[in-house]
Amino acid sequence: MWQTFVWEGEYVDKRWKGWLPELCGGLGALLLAGTVWACMSLERGGGTDRAAVAAILLAFAALAVVLLRLEGCGRDTLLILLLPIGAAFLVRALCMDYAGTDYRNFLTNWYQFFQENGGFQAVSKAVGDYNVPYLYFMAAISYCPIPDLYLIKLFSIGFDVVLAWGCLRLVRVLAKERRGSTAPLAAFCAALFLPTVVLNGAFWGQCDGIYGALCIHAAALLLEGKNKTSVALMAVAFSFKLQAIFVLPLWGVLWLAGRVKFRELWVFPLTYLATIIPALLLGKPLGEILGIYLNQMGEYPRLVLNAPSIYQLVPYGAEVNDALLSTLGIAAAGALVLALLALGFLLRDRLDRELSMTIAVVLCIGVPFLLPRMHERYFFLADIFTLCWACSSLRRVPAAALAELSSLICYIVYLRLKYLFTLRLGGNTFVMLPEMLIMLGALAFSAAVLVMQVREKRKRVGPR
């Protein structure tokens, strides 16, 4: 529980006493005022629409402050943290007008479809390739006069706050033994400013922060022993995006280790069913709902889509057996998951929080690294889990830095529609080999830490 940390103890008072809280609070208020100014200068909609966007962003900033207060932060801490919060929302306000190809080609068309077909009544129809929870959101905003570009981004920005809160909670669990540690607060602020988090939602209009936030909270609850709630949150995350499965094997690892009961895992299908019941009641066929992820997996024929995966070793334009390579990649990812499941069974009562987190990091990097047909955004979980891992122990910073650098470069490649580093080796052209090697470095570092931790645990005799 948060009470194990002294957010406002004597140590904190000595460092933050005097004028610093008031100065940071004043600067934070100025930045929030700048956020309002940026919103009132937006290109779309009228003055009322822009004022509404500003009000929603300020409400999200207030939510961040409330969540920090609930986590035990006192007055001085909140005033100091108002500075990064204000800066984070100003940056997001400045991103609101960008309309990328995904928005122009897909999201706005879905929004218009809901507007023209009765809002929630259109949920029953075949629209988009996202699962029904996101369609509920699209249906809801179709009744709102605010420009859809802003509404789509605001949904993701709201979950940026939830994500930062989840990072705080997860790092708090991992740093449990260090009273007075500022690592959880560092994780909160770092998550708000992580480049791929800002670019994904506020700039690009994507929704990876939604399932990412839910996965982070689920992991924190799992390590706290609140298994049923964690499983329920994972089911909701899965209902938003299929990519939640990258970290989902962690629950299997802890089940084999005896930390999660089999009966608790049944919460997953029951919660998932609850998320699709509204769509069923609106008339959407069950087969169409259950088949959405199968359709997604077959939607893109290319082996890799700007992701720093192992398939970047295939030269650009080379004629290869795609089916064979895909099968080998799926088998390799499956083997990695099975090896980690076996590790959970072998260690059982020696599987502590730190080792569980390392397993989560290896899953989040390793599974998308080996799977075919990955997009650059599919390493979002790797970005945020390595961030929490690094905040809990500075020795893990190399993994977080490498994963974020690789993901960020891949984002830039997509957003610019231009490769940054093209290499010619032996008559072959490799378009994203450096990005892949950087992500491989993050995976190798994480795997090495896992091996060292396993060796240490296996030396112990009896329960920890």
**Confidence (pLDDT) at 14:** 54
pLDDT mean over 53-71: 98
Percent share of the chain, pLDDT over 70: 94
Report whether pLDDT(398) > 80. Answer: yes
Q: How confident is the model at residue 6 (pLDDT cuts 50, 70, 90)?
A: very low
Rounded Cα distance, 294 and 299, in Å: 9
Identify which of 228, 231, 225, 211 has the alpha carbon closest to the alpha carbon of residue 166. Answer: 211
Residue 298: the pLDDT is 67
> Are the CB atoms for 414 and 304 separated by under 8 Å?
no
Q: What is the mean pLDDT of residues 382-389?
A: 98
Q: Give the chain's mean pLDDT.
A: 93
What confidence tens digit (pLDDT) does each residue in 162-174 have?
A: 999 999 999 999 9
Q: Of 182, 165, 110, give the one whose Cα is nearest residue 392.
A: 182
SS3 275: helix
Per-residue pLDDT for 111 more than 90? yes
How far apart, in Å, do the first and last CA atoms of the chain sit? 21
What pLDDT does 304 receive? 94
Please tell me the pTM assigned to this model. Answer: 0.94
Q: How would DSSP label each residue in 440-458? A: HHHHHHHHHHHHHHHHHHH
Angle at 17 between CA 12 and CA 22, to 5 degrees: 115
Which H or E element spans position 428? strand 428-430
Residue 302 has a pLDDT of 86
Only one residue has tokens 């998951």, namely 337
CA distance 215 to 266: 18
Is residue 145 very low, low, confident or very high in pLDDT (cuts 50, 70, 90)?
very high
- The pLDDT-based confidence of 128 (bands split at 50, 70, 90) is confident
No. of helices (H) and no. of strands (E), the chain: 22, 4
The contacts of residue 457 (CB under 8 Å, 6+ apart) are 347, 350, 351, 352, 355, 464
> Quick check: 261 pLDDT over 60?
yes
User: Does residue 12 carry a pLDDT above 50?
Assistant: no
